[in-house]
Amino acid sequence: MLGRQLPSFTRFLARTYAPKWPRPKPGTAERPPYRAPDPLINNPSATVTNLPDEELTFIHRPPPTAPSPISYTTNPVSPLLKDPTPSTSSALPPLTRPSTESSYPRLTTEQIAEIRRLRSVNPVKWTRGVLAKKFNCSQQFVALVAATKKSTRRQLIRNRDVEHEKNREQWSEKRRLVVAISQKRRQYW
């Protein structure tokens, strides 16, 4: 009984494909290595010059990006050098964010002096946002031109923190818990 099962069992163990090893000997069944044709000699626009004195061959092939002799800067042949026409510029997608270029007019020295004066007189009333709206400029420009003194800035921050603490005292227990959890989550970022 054991002898009858053995041939069917060995049939599954027999290999039905060619082995990877040993490899065939060179020159028997292997394909020869690919040798690409020389791009300089086989190029129709290449100029071949034999130099008999030094037994050298000089092959010159003009670059494929060489400008046409008809191409001028005033009338370029390449479409990459041409100015975009209105039809192609309208086909462009809209900008994803507003332009970074300043859309604010340039302020005069008198206006800048007035910003500094107002900011130094009453920084609580004349905040960066209020001055930016009044003089039609950005808040960053007001911060650069008329920065508050460090002592005044510290006092304003202390007053703001006291006001915020008063508002936090009115929070419910659930709100305090949610804020504490989010602060703890930020620590692990």
* 86/64 Cα distance (integer angstroms): 30
* 184/179 Cα distance (integer angstroms): 9
Beta carbons of 77 and 67 less than 8 angstroms apart? yes
pLDDT of 49: 85
pLDDT of 29: 59
SS3 content of the chain, % helix, strand, coil (to 5): 40, 5, 50
Helix (H) or strand (E) holding 116: helix 109-121
* 104/87 Cα distance (integer angstroms): 30
pLDDT of 185: 94
pLDDT of 189: 84
pLDDT of 127: 92
* 60/45 Cα distance (integer angstroms): 9
Q: What is the pLDDT along the chain (189 residues), one digit of tens a residue?
A: 454 555 555 556 666 666 666 666 666 656 667 788 877 777 788 888 888 787 788 888 777 765 666 666 666 666 666 666 655 555 677 777 776 666 788 999 999 999 999 999 999 899 999 999 999 999 999 999 999 989 989 999 999 999 999 999 999 999 999 999 999 999 998
Residue boundaries of the structural domains of the chain: 106-147, 149-189
pTM of the model: 0.41
pLDDT of 87: 55
pLDDT of 145: 94
- Token pair for 136: 């039609």
